């Protein structure tokens, strides 16, 4: 059975994409820890990061850096946190989160019902900033 992320990648479920290329996608978390919380996901369904091809993992971290740099500009956090937890969905994904402190990485603080306009604005701002930084793999403007 396909993971929820495979269904998002295939277009079967909606998501606010900020990046798409032949190997990976990045989209906003639907239960964000902070505004702009983005998930970087390989198109290939791999459960555990230890099992993914090292080149794909390297590619995912490069995308995470692009997203993180855009988050720094757009959201002006103290830092951008990056983590692989891997417990909530059995499909490798990297959380890239604009943070003010360690408490912002506590999954107990997820927003279960984020404002759709805030989410749309965050996705648009991240895409625009990535384009300004010269990254053309970001999703076309909508």
Q: Mean pLDDT over residues 113-141, rounded?
A: 88
Domain that holds residue 46: 4-132
Residue 51 inside a domain? The answer is yes
Instruction: Domain count for the chain, please give it.
Output: 1
DSSP per residue over 53-117, as a string?
-HHHHHHHHHHHHHHHHHHHHHH--SEEEEE---SSSSS--EEEEEESSGGGG-GGG--SS--HH
Q: What is the CATH number of the domain that holds 50?
A: 3.30.428.10
pLDDT tens-place string over residues 53-109: 999 999 999 999 999 999 999 999 999 999 998 888 999 999 999 999 999 999 999
Task: Say what the pLDDT of residue 57 is.
Answer: 97
Residue 10 inside a domain? The answer is yes
Residue 142 inside a domain? The answer is no
Taking the alpha carbons at both ends of the chain, their separation in whole angstroms is 31
């Amino acid at each position: 059975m396909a993971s929820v992320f495979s269904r998002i990648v295939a277009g079967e479920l909606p998501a606010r994409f900020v990046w798409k290329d032949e190997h990976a996608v990045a989209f906003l978390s639907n239960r964000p820890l902070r505004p702009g919380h983005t998930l970087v996901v390989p198109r290939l369904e791999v459960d555990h990061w230890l099992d993914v091809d090292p080149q794909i993992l390297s590619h995912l971290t490069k995308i995470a850096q692009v997203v993180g740099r855009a988050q720094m500009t757009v959201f002006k956090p103290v830092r951008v946190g990056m983590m692989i937890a891997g417990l909530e969905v059995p499909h490798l994904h990297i959380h890239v989160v604009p943070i003010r402190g360690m408490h912002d990485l506590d999954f107990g603080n997820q927003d279960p019902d984020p404002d759709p306009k805030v989410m749309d604005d965050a996705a648009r701002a991240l895409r625009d900033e990535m384009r300004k930084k010269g990254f053309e793999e970001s999703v076309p403007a909508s």
